Amino acid sequence: MTSFSPQTQAAIDFVADLFRQSKHAVALTGAGLSTSSGIPDFRSTGTGLWSRDEPMEVASLSTFRTAPELFFKWFRPLASQIYNASPNPAHLSLAKLEGAGRVHSIITQNIDMLHQKAGSQTVIEMHGTMQTLTCTQCYHKVEAALHLDLFVATGEIPRCPKCGNVLKPDVILFGEQLPQAAWFKAQREARQCDLMLVIGSSLEVLPVAGLPMQALDRGAHLIIVNNAQTYLNVRADVAILEDAAVIIPAIVEKVLNG
């Protein structure tokens, strides 16, 4: 069992009490949740993807349309990391919390499918998914596994089996609108919840970063577990600046087993 400082243990106990009192809790997760699974986040100094690359040059919709080879060159190592990743203890604990009826839904900024691999059932993917690809010309949609496996292995850009044009992963690039259905669901969850648990998100990317404010404006409790400060730490009931893969299992254990 992990040993925590008295301050951290008190925070874990308090969060567990809030969960026991909650009738409609939701989780909002970001890239920091998956770093323990070997997937880099975007903004950590020195290790984040955007500390090495300019996002508008490699991961924008305009780049994909005009020079898809630049996107796929950047995307290939990330796709490999995602496909080889396994859920970490935080993903598994969240799935357990959902299975026990203590979390109503998980709103995620991640595209790594680790929530689903961990067993979570109600996952709202705000930035799209790696599960499918869509043709940029005829809009034929295909399952990603076969095409991306070949791409990761050889670097060959995936092409539509119907018309031969480039297939785009169904992830949201810079300059692309969020999936409308997912955004409506996420807003509904934020407005109806009485507790929001933010994990591993810097809360810097709009509009998703505004969801906790929607929850707060309707009287919900806010808990933040992230390794760096966010703009809403001052509004949170509890903010724990430690490793989510350690903190979340401790919270869930306390919620379910006391």
- Two tokens, residue 78: 């990330």
- Two tokens, residue 208: 């998703």
Task: Find the distance separating the first CA and the last CA of the chain, reported in whole Å.
Answer: 14
Q: Kindly give the interhelix angle for 244-257 and 6-21, rounded to the nearest 10 degrees.
A: 50
- The DSSP secondary-structure symbol of 162 reads T
Q: Is 127 among the catalytic positions? A: yes
Q: Which of 91, 104, 115, 127 is catalytic?
A: 127
What is the C-alpha to C-alpha distance for residues 112 and 9, in angstroms, rounded to an integer? Answer: 30
Phi-psi region of 135 (alpha: psi -120 to 50; beta: other; left: phi over 0): beta
Q: What is the DSSP string of 106-141?
A: EEE---S-HHHHHT-S-EEETTEEEEEEEETTT--E
72: closest CA among 161, 154, 195?
154
What is the C-alpha to C-alpha distance for residues 90 and 92, in angstroms, rounded to an integer? Answer: 5
Q: What CA–CA distances, in Å, run from 251 to 51, 169, 174, 221?
A: 32, 35, 34, 16
Residues designated catalytic = 127
